Chains A and B, each alone.
Chain A
Amino acid sequence: MLELALHILDIAENSTRAGARHVDIHLKEDPSHDLLTLEIADDGAGMDKETLAKALDPFYTTKKVRRVGLGLPMLVQAAESAGGELILSSEPGKGTRLKVTFGLRHLDRQPLGDIAGSLVTLIAGNPDIDFTYRHERGDQVYLLSTEEIKKEIEDVPINHIEVLKYIRSHIAEGMKEIGSEA
């Protein structure tokens, strides 16, 4: 996986399978400290200490259909090769929180990629889960909340093709407006 947008999609899919109702995705570009921070927090099932300790091991998975679990290890690799790290914390019954850092201008930092596409995929596949996407650059902020959108569209489903199209352009425009360089 060579784009951060794909990692975000992958990690958030884990949240949805952990039974989360809310998934918060937060990206922060801090040019003055040359730092890019990604945080994903959910209110899913969470993990106990033993599971948490094994979660970053590529040969550990809870799935029965295969013997490897590569999602998190690949994100660790992406962070570490860009001068950053991944910190995972979790509590059973409360949820899981992940924080990943990257050198914003590090040569080997993966590009952000198609964030709008990843979010649209998440929303289309999980209409009952509320997603927030917050993207900060310096003091500029872009925010998308599916809860807010659901209030506006009332009985129209959030995964209706017109709404998804709206969300895609909303994100694209918002990212441009705050001058995202990631």
Chain B
Amino acid sequence: MAKITIEDLKKIKERVHAETALRDGHLRVKVTVHMGTCGIASGAKEVMDSLLKEIEEAGVTDVAVTTSGCMGLCSREPLVTVEILNQDPIKYEYMNSNKMRQVFKRHILEGEIQIPFVLARGAETQK
């Protein structure tokens, strides 16, 4: 692998500028990976790794990724919340890399909720 330099960051900046000039830059989906101690201990980081890899491979720019803390459902971790613009958030339970890839391809890209992995629909009351 070629040595990574600050020049690479400049190239990224130019490329992103060129891309954003072509579209309006709105985010369509927000994905939250719950990153409390319970989440991390049960594999949330691997879920995050595979999500970022999928986004990279699909080349999509309208999906935002974020993390949150524990919401008290530690036994069902790793939890992932998918919020598509103007739709109810969907919470997925017992996630792993494979399920994350499936949710990304089918739900995030194609809009088809992956019922077998769903914990709940709707916003959480406590964060």
Contacts and interface: CB of A to CB of B under 8 A. Distances in A.
Nearest to B61: A161
Interface of chain A, helix or strand or loop or mixed?
A: helix
Interface stretch (A28-36, A84-92, A164-172): A164-172
B107 interface: no
Interface of A: 1, 5-6, 9-10, 13, 17, 63-66, 69-71, 74, 114, 117-118, 120-122, 124-126, 149, 152-154, 156, 159-166, 169-170, 173
Nearest to A69: B37
A162 B45 contact: no
A13 B52 contact: no
Interface residues of B, number: 37
Given A10-B40, A13-B35, A121-B35, A156 B12 contact: yes
B40 to A, nearest CB: 5
Most buried by B among A117, A124, A154: A124
B72 interface: yes
Contacts, number: 101
B40 A6 contact: yes
A106 B67 CA distance: 33
B1 A153 contact: no
Interface stretch (B2-10, B89-97, B111-119): B2-10
Nearest to B126: A65
A71 to B, nearest CB: 4
A117 B12 contact: no
B106 interface: no
